[in-house]
Structure 1
């Protein structure tokens, strides 16, 4: 496909970046504020503070003194809006009809700059987040996912749960939150992405520049600690829980987002377990009936990446299924994909890639992710060229590198502990 995203890139004197993407025939507008700070940037005793602060920016300003006043105003505009916290960045966004963009913009920027962080709201929101932690702990798929990342990245912020723990969230104070906002929310760490109606884009750009131009930067921006990735032997963790299936995660650390091998990692994961016709799905689910859900996914960030296998398995065949999954991984390392399977994996990945570029919100998210990891967002056709260039030998070489016992991490939640899983993988 030939999709060209027409965008402009502007940097204000205070360091803030603005990316604008006018879209033909669009009658909506999306704005995203992306701050380059996430859970990996937190100190141990304040784990979860990035996510906590994200929640609190919806709790009221001087002119909109409550959550209700904010939500009522945005709801009346017919806007969609939300926020998110990740390992590396925090985002706040809305999408609205083009005519409602300035009004929604006023609400979001007011929240971003003028949130009061009232003590009463801080304490009340603790209860909400503690219940979110309880909810996640009660969901085996969420819990085992976090356990896997703790195995892959032990004893460092990168391996912690983004939401924090009950202990750390309970201890966070209003002063902690204010200090964190003032120190970490800086213009040089922030980008604004706008996508939508090309007839109104110039107006929205001026609106953004006027609102953010006077944001004063700190003299000393914070620095980020690199990820530690040392591992010399397989790791596993089992949690006993009364569940009806075994919740299995297997993870292998891999390449980072800007590596030339990042496209290879994407196609490796897709070929192994990203499709209903992939070996993981066919062998574990279709031919043996040992799972309803089984798949492989790739993840990349600025200085690391991983390939993760997820499966919910029948308890009677846990060990056999784990052995089978490992064997399928090793087969990817032992021989290159056939030309047909390689073409299918690439075409399938690209099909989903382009399906995710259909709306103003899709474009904004794409540009945000691209601009965060690269000096300038790549065009979709450039990414397609990189994906098309992946060969069967590339996939085999990367599989040989990452599918090694010393890079093997396994997390499992089940009622019964298997005799031993790792002994069979060396």
Structure 2
């Protein structure tokens, strides 16, 4: 199929560039003069993908504490005021394979943006007081995820599907790991990982003429160091493929469900196809799951799908909530929709509309600097390549319904599926007698 000419023209005009600092370090930029802001995005190659057995949770913990105070900004409040007081913002987040710090400043104030990032990345105080305080906050974060059954089943199914890879561990860590975090430990962890080899910098938005000099000055302050290597051990899963796993949540009639499948991602072509499958099945009101489960049968308020890829392993998951007694019907509908896709019985125009919706979503992200920056940062940190926007759109035009059917037939089947449920144990065990219990 052909995408709109306006999409192609937009891709041609909004290309990325690589600027090189005087010491050889690189920064990828994607200018967008239509924004009043400049966005600077830093991704550090870290996370549970790289954490050894005894380091679980250190990357996420360090992200929290690095924002708690630096040499120039001794508290998070001071750091935030500096950014927000001039109309900007600074924040951070962790995934399974990177930690991101980003700052937004009005165009022309990139020097301040780089200074804020330099302070957080390389001048954190890491005091014992801030560590003890942040430990309590992270414990609250863990408790929130455990108490929110919807979040729990969604995160749990992904972790279980990623086993035996060390990335199957949730980034937040466990009680034992959190308890041992102290200033000396985090300083050593920080010194080993936060260096030029593990850092990528992205600039997006309305970048001023001074951006290149600001980036050069920043890179001069970044220490050299070794490239971190992925953790090299296996984590055995307690649950075989095809399992139904239950976390009891009391007598509520509402159940939270997450179904997931894993699959290898061997080519960029297949990755694009999987992303179209995700859009087709569960992205937006036009998706097949939403049409059948919500619009036609009123079985759920919302259903969503997501696809995540880590180190060549993909996870596709569906999340929804429904009345406990309706779950067999829900699962039957999901299986029938996937079977229809896998048998290549889907109408061509339905599939092409999903390609169009996915392409429009990518174009929308590329038009917004706050979304372009992480897209580029994740690609460069994970794969070592600059995301090729125009090439991605060209590739979408070649995604075929037949290949989508092949992938669905091979990987999206009940034998390889994991189901995580949270709800009334009595009701769910009656419906699914062979469940495992968390």
The answer to whether the superposition gives a TM-score over 0.5 is yes
Is residue 331 of structure 2 the alignment partner of residue 325 of structure 1? no
Q: What's 1:48 paired with? A: 57
Pairing 1:65-214 to 2, within 5 Å after superposition = 65-198=74-207, 200-201=208-209, 203-214=210-221
Equivalent-residue separation in structure 2 for 1:406 and 1:422 (angstroms): 17
Q: In terms of mean alpha carbon deviation, does 146-155 or 92-101 score higher?
A: 146-155
The answer (yes or no) to whether the contact 2:43–2:378 under 8 Å persists in 1 is: no
Task: Please point out which of 240, 247, 251 is paired with 1:239.
Answer: 247
- State the TM-score, normalizing by the size of structure 2: 0.89
SS at match of 2:150: helix
The answer (yes or no) to whether the contact 1:79–1:95 under 8 Å persists in 2 is: yes
SS at match of 1:95: strand
Residue-by-residue CA offset, 1:335-372 (whole Å, 9 max, x unaligned): 24311111111111111211222232222222213323
Cα RMSD for the two superposed structures: 2.5
Equivalent-residue separation in structure 1 for 2:16 and 2:354 (angstroms): 30
Equivalent-residue separation in structure 1 for 2:48 and 2:430 (angstroms): 36
Equivalent-residue separation in structure 2 for 1:25 and 1:327 (angstroms): 45
The answer (yes or no) to whether the contact 1:258–1:302 under 8 Å persists in 2 is: no
Task: Please point out which of 24, 30, 46 is paired with 2:33.
Answer: 24
Is residue 226 of structure 2 the alignment partner of residue 215 of structure 1? no
The answer (yes or no) to whether the contact 1:17–1:190 under 8 Å persists in 2 is: no
Distance change in 2, residues 1:331/1:16 (3 Å): same
Residue-by-residue CA offset, 1:366-420 (whole Å, 9 max, x unaligned): 2213323444424322111211211110110000111234421111101132435
SS at match of 2:31: strand
The answer (yes or no) to whether the contact 2:19–2:212 under 8 Å persists in 1 is: no
Deviation at 1:307? Answer: 1.2
SS at match of 2:269: coil
Q: In terms of mean alpha carbon deviation, does 148-157 or 45-54 score higher?
A: 148-157
- Residues paired across the two proteins, number: 421
- State the TM-score, normalizing by the size of structure 1: 0.91
Equivalent-residue separation in structure 2 for 1:227 and 1:409 (angstroms): 23
Deviation at 1:191? Answer: 0.7
Deviation at 1:423? Answer: 7.8
Equivalent-residue separation in structure 2 for 1:295 and 1:38 (angstroms): 26
Q: What's 1:359 paired with? A: 368
Q: In terms of mean alpha carbon deviation, does 271-280 or 47-56 score higher?
A: 271-280
Equivalent-residue separation in structure 1 for 2:100 and 2:404 (angstroms): 33
Deviation at 1:25? Answer: 4.2
Deviation at 1:62? Answer: 2.3
SS at match of 1:99: coil
Q: Which runs of 5+ in 2 are unaligned?
A: 1-6
Q: What's 1:340 paired with? A: 349
Residue-by-residue CA offset, 1:192-232 (whole Å, 9 max, x unaligned): 1112324x24x1221121222243322x4331147979997
SS at match of 1:296: strand
Distance change in 2, residues 1:170/1:374 (3 Å): closer
The answer (yes or no) to whether the contact 2:38–2:105 under 8 Å persists in 1 is: yes
Equivalent-residue separation in structure 1 for 2:329 and 2:275 (angstroms): 27
Equivalent-residue separation in structure 2 for 1:181 and 1:256 (angstroms): 32
Is residue 375 of structure 2 the alignment partner of residue 369 of structure 1? no
Equivalent-residue separation in structure 2 for 1:299 and 1:265 (angstroms): 10
Equivalent-residue separation in structure 1 for 2:434 and 2:146 (angstroms): 29
Q: In terms of mean alpha carbon deviation, does 251-260 or 73-82 score higher?
A: 251-260
